[in-house]
C-alpha cells in the first residue's frame, strides 16, 4: 500500500487550539496555522478551540486519531508549566510511538528566540493509528517556529532522507 505522493498532494489536517481564553475571533495562532497549512497545499478539515482540560483534549484528539479522514493533528497551547497546562499529559497516553526528537529540536530552535525560557516548553509529538500529532506552545511565534522549521518539511514527501508522509493513513 505504498502510495506515491508528491508535494502537491494534500494531507488532511486538524488544528486544535488549547485555551481557556481564546475564541474564534482572537485565535491568532490557529489563524496562522490554518494559513500556513493551506499555503503548503494541505487541507484543514477540522479546527477547534478546546479548553485546557486533559480529558476534553484527550477526547478531541482521540476523535481525530479514530477518524478515517484526519492524517495530522496540530495542537497549539497547553504545553507550559502552569497548573492548568495539561496537553502533554492528555496526549502522550494516546501515542503508539512518541517522536522524542520533535520536542528536543523545538527547544533547541526556540533557545535562539527565548533563551532559557525554552526549558518550560513541553512540546511533544507522536504517532497514533497512522496519525501524526504535534503539540507545541500557543504563541504565534512558537507556532511559526514549529511549522516553518520542523513540521512543514516533515509533511513533504520530497524531504530526504525521511519524512512522516509514508507513516500516515491512506485516505479512503
Q: What is the pTM of this model?
A: 0.91
C-alpha cell at 40: 503548503
Residue 15 has pLDDT above 60, yes or no: yes
For 31-59, how does the pLDDT look when each residue is reduced to its tens digit (9 = 90+)? Answer: 999 999 999 999 999 999 999 999 999 99
Rg (CA), the chain: 15
Residue 115 has pLDDT above 90, yes or no: no
Residue 118 has pLDDT above 70, yes or no: no
| Domain locations in the chain as residue ranges | 12-167
Q: Which of 57-61, 75-79, 82-86 shows the lowest per-residue confidence on average (mean pLDDT)?
A: 82-86
The architecture of the domain spanning 12-167 is: 3-Layer(aba) Sandwich (3.40)
Asked whether the beta carbons of 145 and 110 are under 8 A apart, the reply is yes
Amino acid at each position: 500500500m505504498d502510495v506515491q505522493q508528491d508535494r502537491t498532494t494534500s494531507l488532511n489536517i486538524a488544528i486544535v487550539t488549547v485555551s481557556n481564553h481564546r475564541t474564534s475571533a482572537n485565535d491568532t495562532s490557529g489563524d496562522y496555522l490554518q494559513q500556513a497549512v493551506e499555503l503548503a497545499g494541505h487541507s484543514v478539515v477540522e479546527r477547534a478551540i478546546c479548553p485546557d482540560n486533559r480529558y476534553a483534549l484527550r477526547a478531541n484528539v482521540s476523535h481525530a486519531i479514530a477518524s478515517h479522514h484526519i492524517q495530522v493533528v496540530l495542537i497549539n497551547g497547553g504545553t507550559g508549566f502552569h497548573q492548568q497546562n495539561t496537553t502533554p499529559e492528555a496526549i502522550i497516553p494516546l501515542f503508539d510511538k512518541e517522536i522524542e526528537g520533535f520536542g528536543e529540536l523545538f527547544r533547541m530552535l526556540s533557545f535562539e528566540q527565548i533563551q532559557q525560557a525554552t526549558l518550560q516548553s513541553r512540546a511533544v509529538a507522536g504517532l497514533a493509528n497512522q496519525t501524526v500529532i504535534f503539540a507545541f506552545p500557543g504563541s504565534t511565534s512558537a507556532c511559526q517556529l514549529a511549522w516553518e522549521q520542523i513540521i512543514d518539511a516533515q509533511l513533504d514527501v520530497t524531504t530526504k532522507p525521511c519524512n512522516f508522509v509514508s507513516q500516515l493513513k491512506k485516505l479512503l
